[in-house]
C-alpha cells in the first residue's frame, strides 16, 4: 500500500548532503536519540519494532550514515502487512490537536514498497494508527526523505512515527528529525478557501424542457424539482422549502390535484429531500418558528390576478397551518381575521406572533388592497394547533398601511421597529400602479408600541424610498440593538426585466439612541436588490445573491461585514448560481450557508442549491462542543457546557425562517457573562425574553482564532 494523502507535501531530496534543503521550520528537533547512537538492549533507545499482518523479517543494528549505528529491517517472507522501526510510546512527541509536523530521515533500500507510519495518542491515553504517508522509490545510496503530516485531530496529546517496509527486501534508516510545520489551528490550509470560502452547487430533478431555460443568465442544462420561495431551518437540522403553487398559475388553478401545491423537506447533510403534502397555496405566505419548534405558516395566495378589469389583482389567504418538524406534517389552525398575501411574522417575547401587512382577502371597489388588520397568534404550548389567532376585536388595531413583507424587529423594550425594508414599496402620495398607496403619506422607519399603537418615526435612512426588497437585520450581538438595512430599489414604475435600478447603500441605526437616526454604513461591493443577509457564528454578517434590477441582472458577488470593525465589506467567493427574485439564504448548524431559489422575469425557476463554506472551514480543526448539561435554558440563569479546547466566545443564533430577503426574527444572542475555565464554559443567559424570544437556538462556541464549532440545539425560555 502506497497511499499518498490528498494535499500532503512530500519532498525527496538529493543524496549529496550539500543539496539537502533546510527543514520547513527552524524549530528544534523533537525526536529523542535521533541518530540511533544510544543503545537500550538490542535496539537504539526510544525505538522499537512494529508489525502487522503475516510476514517474517529480521531487524538488526548496522553501520550508520553519519555515526556508528543505523537500523536495518530485512523482510524475508511477506504474505500481508508491514514491519517497521518506530518510536516507543515513552519517547513520543507531545502535541495538541490542530498542529502538524515535518518528519524526515535518511534511508537506503532495495525495495520501493515503503511508507511512513504514524500513530496518535488521544486524551484518554489510547494509541491509534493514524496516517500512512508515501515515501518514494528505492535507493542504493543514502537519501533524505521528508513528509508533512496532516493537522493532528482534536484531542491528540502525542504522536510517534517510523519507516515501514511492506514488501520483500531490505530498508536501512538513520538520522531522524521531527519539527513543527508551519501552520496551526487558525492558519489557512487552502489559499482560496481561507480567504474567500468556497461554494458547491447541488442539482436536482429532471432536465429542463426545451424552451424553459433561463433567458437571463443561466443558459441551458439547469434542473427543475426543488423550488424554494420560503426556507425554514428546523430543529431537526432539516430545511422546510415551501413553494405552494410556485408562481405557476396552472398549479393554482388545478390545486385540488395531488402534488400541485408543494413543500419539500431537505436534508443538507445527506443531500436528500422529501415531498410534503401541502394543503393550501402557501406561495408568498408568512412563517415563523414557535417556542416548541413547530413552524407557523400564515396566509398565502387566495387568488391569482385576472387583470380583467384592469384593477383586479392578487388576494391573500386567511388560512393558517402548523408544520411539525418531527411528524413532518401540516396541521390547520383557526383562520386569521383577514387574508394576507406577503405578510410579516414577528415572534414576541411571550411567544405570541404578531402579523401585519400583505394583500387582503377581499377586493375593495374591484381592486386589490393592503390588509389593515393586525393579527395576533396567542401561543399555547399545550394546544394541538400551538394556540389560536385572536378575533380582530381582541387585538389592538393600528390601521397602518404596512405594504408587503414589512420587516418588524422586536426590540429590548418590547416594541417593534420597522426597518424601512419591505417588498413592493410603500405609499408615496401618488398612484404608483400598485393600488395601495393612493394619497397616503410615505411610511418610513419607526417604532410601534403594540399595546398603545403609538408610532415613533426614525429618520436618516438614505434612499428611504428605494428600500423595496432590501435586506435588514439586527446586528450581532442582539444586546447592542443595532439594525442594518442593505441595498434595495424603488419598484414603482419599473418593468420586469429591467437591468438596473438597485443601489448599494447600507445604513445602521442604534435603537438605544434612535433619536440620532440612521447613519450611513459601508457601501456594498455592488448595487443589489433581492439580496440575503445571514449572521455567521463568528459574529460577522454574510451577504449574497440578488440582482441589479427588477428580476434581472444577476449580482453573483458576496461579501462579509464585521460589526466590530465596521469599515468595509470584504469580498468573498461568488455563488456560481445567479439568484434574483424568490431567492434566500440560511445558516446551517455546521456553520455553512445554504442558498436557494431564483425566479427571473422569464418566470423560469432555478432549483439548484448552493452550499457556501466560509473561510473558517479551511483554517484547521474547529473547536467542538463535547457536552451540554441541559438543553433547556431559563432566562437569567447560568448554564455549563464542555468543549474539546479552550474557547473565547459563544453565541445563541435563532434558526432562519426567510423569504423575499426578509427574516425579522434573525438574531445572535451573546452571553451576559461568559466564564471559560479550560474546557468548561459557563454561559449566563439574558434575563430578557425580548432579547432572546422563546424557542430553539443554535449554540456555537468560537475559539481565539475565530473558528466556530458545529452547533448544539438549545431551547431558550
pLDDT at 259: 87
CA-closest candidate to residue 373, choices 423, 305, 318: 318
CA-closest candidate to residue 305, choices 370, 252, 238: 252
| 233 touches 288 (CB < 8 A) | no
d(CA 585, CA 663) in angstroms, rounded, equals 10
d(CA 9, CA 147) in angstroms, rounded, equals 6
d(CA 253, CA 242) in angstroms, rounded, equals 18
CA-closest candidate to residue 287, choices 266, 259, 311, 317: 317
| 644 touches 664 (CB < 8 A) | no
Residues 459-513: tens digit of each pLDDT = 999 999 999 999 999 999 999 999 999 999 998 878 888 889 999 999 999 999 9
pLDDT at 596 > cutoff 80: yes
- Give the residue carrying C-alpha cell 408610532: 455
Strands 532-535 and 262-267: unpaired
CA angle 378, 383, 389 (to 5 degrees): 30
Distance of CA 242 to the CA centre of its chain: 19
| 300 touches 320 (CB < 8 A) | no
| 286 touches 338 (CB < 8 A) | no
SS3 319: coil
pLDDT at 120: 95
pLDDT at 611 > cutoff 90: yes
Dihedral through CA 288, CA 545, CA 401, CA 321, nearest 10?
A: -30
CA-closest candidate to residue 480, choices 519, 447, 508, 506: 508
Contacts of 323 (CB under 8 A, 6+ apart): 232, 240, 263, 276, 294, 295, 297, 329, 330, 331
Average pLDDT over residues 610-622: 93
d(CA 78, CA 56) in angstroms, rounded, equals 6
pLDDT at 215: 31
Comparing 138-152, 218-232, 618-632, which segment has the lowest mean pLDDT? 218-232
pLDDT at 191: 64
DSSP result, 575-589: PSS---TT-EEEE-T
Average pLDDT over residues 293-308: 94
What is the C-alpha end-to-end distance of the chain, expressed in Å? 55
| 541 touches 533 (CB < 8 A) | yes
- Give the residue carrying C-alpha cell 431537526: 236
| 221 touches 608 (CB < 8 A) | no
Comparing 193-207, 301-315, 319-333, which segment has the lowest mean pLDDT? 193-207
Beta pairing partners, 70: 62
SS3 119: strand
Q: Which one has a higher pLDDT value, 261 or 11? A: 261
Cis peptide bond upstream of 638, omega within 30: no
Count of all residues that appear for the chain in the document: 717
pLDDT at 7 > cutoff 60: no
What is the share, in percent, of the chain residues with pLDDT greater than 90?
Answer: 78
Average pLDDT over residues 348-367: 94
d(CA 26, CA 374) in angstroms, rounded, equals 69
Task: Categorize the per-residue pLDDT at 436 as very low, low, confident or very high, splitting at 50, 70 and 90.
Answer: very low
pLDDT at 187: 56
pLDDT at 152: 82
Residues 406-433: tens digit of each pLDDT = 999 999 999 999 999 999 866 544 333 3
CA-closest candidate to residue 163, choices 171, 152, 151, 155: 171
Task: Categorize the per-residue pLDDT at 11 as very low, low, confident or very high, splitting at 50, 70 and 90.
Answer: very low
DSSP result, 350-412: TS-EEE--SB-SS-BTTB--B----EEEEE-TTSTTSEEEPPGGGS--------SS--EEE-T
Mean pLDDT in the chain? 89
Print burial letters for 155-187: b (CB count within 10 Å at least 16), e (below 16).
Answer: bbbbbbbbbbbbebbbbbbbbbbbbbbebbbbe
Residues 231-263: tens digit of each pLDDT = 999 999 999 999 999 999 999 999 999 889 999
- Here the cell at position 199 is 461554494
- Here the cell at position 114 is 515503503
pLDDT at 96: 83
pLDDT at 686 > cutoff 80: yes
Residues 279-290: tens digit of each pLDDT = 999 999 999 999
Task: Categorize the per-residue pLDDT at 17 as very low, low, confident or very high, splitting at 50, 70 and 90.
Answer: very low
The most distant pair of C-alpha atoms in the chain lies apart, rounded to whole Å, by 104
pLDDT at 223: 44
Q: Give the H/E segment covering residue 253.
A: helix 249-253
d(CA 662, CA 404) in angstroms, rounded, equals 11
| 92 touches 30 (CB < 8 A) | no
Cβ neighbourhood burial of 557 (10 Å; 0-12, 13-18, 19+): buried
pLDDT at 427: 54
d(CA 461, CA 459) in angstroms, rounded, equals 6
Residues 650-664: tens digit of each pLDDT = 999 999 999 999 999
Residues 534-563: tens digit of each pLDDT = 999 999 999 999 999 999 999 999 999 999
Q: Give the H/E segment covering residue 558.
A: strand 558-561
pLDDT at 90 > cutoff 90: yes
pLDDT at 97: 77
pLDDT at 253: 95
DSSP code at position 647: -
Residues 663-678: tens digit of each pLDDT = 999 999 999 999 999 9
Comparing 32-41, 186-195, 231-240, 320-329, which segment has the lowest mean pLDDT? 186-195
What is the share, in percent, of the chain residues with pLDDT greater than 70?
Answer: 89
Amino acid at each position: 500500500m502506497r497511499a499518498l494523502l490528498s494535499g500532503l507535501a512530500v519532498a525527496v531530496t538529493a543524496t549529496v548532503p550539500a543539496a539537502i534543503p533546510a527543514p520547513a521550520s527552524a524549530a528544534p528537533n523533537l525526536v529523542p536519540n535521533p541518530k540511533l547512537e544510544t543503545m537500550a538492549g538490542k535496539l537504539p533507545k526510544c525505538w522499537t519494532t512494529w508489525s502487522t499482518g503475516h510476514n517474517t523479517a529480521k531487524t538488526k543494528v548496522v553501520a550508520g550514515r553519519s555515526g556508528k549505528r543505523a537500523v536495518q529491517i530485512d523482510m524475508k517472507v511477506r504474505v500481508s502487512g508491514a514491519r517497521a522501526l518506530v518510536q516507543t510510546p515513552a519517547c513520543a512527541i507531545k502535541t495538541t490537536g490542530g498542529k502538524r509536523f515535518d518528519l524526515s530521515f535518511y534511508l537506503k533500500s532495495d525495495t520501493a514498497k515503503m511508507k511512513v507510519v504514524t500513530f496518535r495518542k488521544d486524551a484518554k491515553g489510547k494509541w491509534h494508527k493514524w496516517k500512512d504517508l508515501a515515501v518514494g522509490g528505492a535507493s542504493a545510496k543514502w537519501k533524505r526523505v521528508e513528509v508533512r503530516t496532516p493537522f493532528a485531530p482534536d484531542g491528540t496529546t502525542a504522536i510517534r512515527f517510523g519507516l515501514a517496509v511492506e514488501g520483500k527486501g531490505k530498508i536501512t534508516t538513520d538520522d531522524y528529525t521531527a519539527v513543527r510545520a508551519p501552520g496551526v489551528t487558525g492558519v489557512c490550509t487552502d489559499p482560496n478557501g481561507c480567504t474567500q470560502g468556497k461554494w458547491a452547487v447541488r442539482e436536482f430533478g429532471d432536465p429542463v424542457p426545451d424552451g424553459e431555460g433561463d433567458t437571463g443568465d443561466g443558459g441551458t442544462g439547469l434542473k427543475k424539482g426543488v423550488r424554494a420561495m420560503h426556507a425554514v431551518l428546523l430543529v431537526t437540522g432539516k430545511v422546510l422549502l415551501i413553494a405552494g403553487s410556485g408562481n405557476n398559475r396552472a398549479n393554482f388553478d388545478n390545486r385540488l390535484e395531488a402534488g400541485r401545491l408543494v413543500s419539500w423537506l431537505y436534508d443538507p447533510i445527506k443531500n436528500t429531500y422529501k415531498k410534503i403534502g401541502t394543503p393550501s397555496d402557501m406561495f408568498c405566505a408568512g412563517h415563523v418558528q414557535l417556542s416548541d419548534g413547530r413552524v407557523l405558516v400564515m396566509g398565502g395566495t387566495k387568488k391569482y390576478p385576472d387583470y380583467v378589469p384592469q384593477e383586479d389583482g392578487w388576494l391573500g389567504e386567511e388560512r393558517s397551518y402548523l408544520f411539525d418538524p418531527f411528524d413532518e406534517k401540516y396541521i390547520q389552525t383557526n383562520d386569521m381575521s383577514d387574508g394576507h398575501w406577503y405578510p410579516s411574522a414577528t415572534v414576541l417575547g411571550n411567544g405570541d406572533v404578531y402579523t401585519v401587512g400583505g394583500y387582503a382577502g377581499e377586493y375593495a371597489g374591484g381592486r386589490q388592497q393592503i390588509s389593515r388588520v393586525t393579527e395576533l397568534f396567542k401561543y399555547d404550548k399545550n394546544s394541538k394547533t400551538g394556540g389560536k389567532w385572536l378575533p380582530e376585536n381582541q387585538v389592538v388595531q393600528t390601521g397602518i398601511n404596512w405594504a408587503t413583507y414589512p420587516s418588524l424587529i422586536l426590540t429590548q423594550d418590547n416594541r417593534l421597529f420597522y426597518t424601512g425594508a419591505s417588498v413592493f414599496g410603500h405609499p408615496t402620495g401618488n398612484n404608483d400602479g400598485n393600488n395601495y398607496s393612493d394619497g397616503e403619506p410615505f411610511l418610513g422607519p419607526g417604532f410601534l408600541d403594540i399595546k398603545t399603537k403609538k408610532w415613533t418615526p426614525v429618520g436618516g435612512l438614505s434612499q428611504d424610498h428605494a428600500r423595496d426588497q432590501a435586506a435588514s437585520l439586527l446586528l450581532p450581538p442582539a444586546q447592542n440593538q443595532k439594525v442594518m438595512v442593505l441595498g434595495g430599489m424603488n419598484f414603482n414604475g419599473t418593468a420586469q426585466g429591467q437591468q438596473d435600478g438597485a443601489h448599494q447603500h447600507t445604513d445602521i441605526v442604534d435603537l438605544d439612541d434612535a433619536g440620532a437616526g440612521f447613519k450611513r454604513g459601508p457601501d456594498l461591493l455592488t448595487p443589489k436588490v433581492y439580496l440575503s443577509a445571514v449572521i455567521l457564528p463568528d459574529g460577522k454578517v454574510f451577504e449574497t445573491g440578488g440582482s441589479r434590477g427588477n428580476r434581472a441582472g444577476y449580482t453573483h458577488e458576496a461579501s462579509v461585514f464585521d460589526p466590530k470593525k465596521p469599515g468595509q465589506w470584504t469580498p468573498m467567493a461568488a455563488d456560481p448560481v445567479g439568484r434574483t427574485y424568490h431567492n434566500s439564504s440560511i445558516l446551517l448548524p455546521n456553520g455553512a450557508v445554504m442558498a436557494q431559489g431564483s425566479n427571473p422575469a422569464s418566470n423560469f425557476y432555478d432549483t439548484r442549491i448552493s452550499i457556501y463554506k466560509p473561510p473558517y472551514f479551511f483554517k484547521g480543526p474547529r473547536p467542538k462542543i463535547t457536552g451540554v448539561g441541559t438543553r433547556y435554558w431559563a432566562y437569567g440563569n447560568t448554564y455549563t457546557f464542555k468543549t474539546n479546547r479552550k474557547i473565547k466566545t459563544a453565541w445563541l443564533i435563532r434558526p432562519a425562517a426567510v423569504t423575499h430577503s426578509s427574516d425579522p426574527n434573525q438574531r445572535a444572542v451573546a452571553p451576559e457573562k461568559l466564564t471559560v475555565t479550560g474546557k468548561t464554559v459557563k454561559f449566563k443567559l439574558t434575563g430578557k425574553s425580548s432579547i432572546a424570544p422563546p424557542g430553539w437556538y443554535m449554540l456555537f462556541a468560537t475559539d481565539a482564532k475565530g473558528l466556530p464549532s458545529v452547533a448544539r440545539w438549545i431551547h431558550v425560555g
